[in-house]
């Protein structure tokens, strides 16, 4: 059915959690889901479908950057009839956020041309889905989990030279930086689906501490639980 995904139509749930890292998908599948099946392994993008309580969930990696997220989320929405994608990832903080704080993204601002070349979407900013965000926020309140809502900068360049991040904070009110949400939100808007992003602070432009790769992979339990519990309401 798809250029980059080998799954059959029924293999993928209508709600997908989307980390960047395939290993993070494996971790979620093994530690949070039951009756798990490997449903994709093309190019090492290992994806799994299983059950969380009474809900069928797929965890599918996006890879890094807007182009990779753009490919996989587009095909999931269009070819596999996925209705909801919640990106769960990490971010670098431009603000006074602390390590492991959880951010629910309300708007993505970008330096990417992804929207322009996909569908003539020429704005540099795009909202996440309000309905889906409301579900996540109400779930966080029920679970007693603190989340921070705000804007994120979605860059096409990880090693952005001369990054005047303070001007981005002042101009756009961004809390920090990541690399995938803009493409996800454009695809969702274009294909009339729903998408949100939850991010955990893994490092900061203001202080030196940062999470190790192992902590990034396995230290996301609180955010993963929030995303999965939110999926039960979809």
Catalytic center residues: 203
Residue 139 phi/psi, 5-degree rounding, is: -65, -40
Gap between the Cα atoms of 61 and 233, Å rounded: 22
- The answer to whether residues 5 and 16 touch, using CB atoms and an 8 Å cutoff, is no
Residue 94 phi/psi, 5-degree rounding, is: -100, 0
Gap between the Cα atoms of 141 and 167, Å rounded: 32
Gap between the Cα atoms of 44 and 37, Å rounded: 15
Q: How many helices (H) and strands (E) does the chain have?
A: 8, 10
Radius of gyration of the chain (CA): 16
**Tokens coding 150:** 């705000």
- The answer to whether residues 217 and 200 touch, using CB atoms and an 8 Å cutoff, is no
């Amino acid at each position: 059915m798809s250029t980059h995904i080998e799954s059959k139509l029924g293999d993928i749930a209508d709600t997908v959690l989307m980390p960047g890292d395939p290993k993070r998908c494996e971790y979620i599948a093994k530690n949070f889901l039951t009756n798990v099946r490997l449903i994709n392994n093309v190019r090492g993008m290992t994806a799994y479908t299983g059950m969380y309580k009474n809900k069928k969930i797929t965890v599918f990696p996006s890879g890094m950057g807007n182009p990779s997220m753009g490919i996989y989320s587009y095909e999931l929405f269009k070819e596999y009839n996925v209705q909801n994608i919640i990106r769960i990832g990490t971010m670098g903080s431009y603000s006074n956020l602390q390590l492991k704080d959880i951010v629910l993204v309300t708007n993505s601002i970008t330096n990417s041309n992804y929207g322009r070349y996909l569908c003539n979407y020429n704005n540099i900013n795009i909202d996440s889905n309000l309905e889906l965000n409301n579900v996540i926020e109400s779930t966080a309140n029920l679970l007693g989990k603190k989340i921070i809502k705000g804007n994120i900068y979605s860059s096409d360049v990880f090693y952005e030279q001369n990054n005047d991040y303070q001007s981005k904070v002042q101009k756009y009110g961004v809390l920090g930086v990541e690399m995938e949400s803009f493409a996800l939100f454009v695809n969702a808007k274009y294909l009339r689906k729903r998408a949100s992003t939850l991010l955990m602070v893994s490092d900061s432009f203001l202080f030196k501490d940062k999470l190790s790769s192992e902590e990034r992979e396995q230290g996301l339990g609180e955010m993963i639980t929030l995303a999965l519990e939110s999926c039960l309401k979809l």
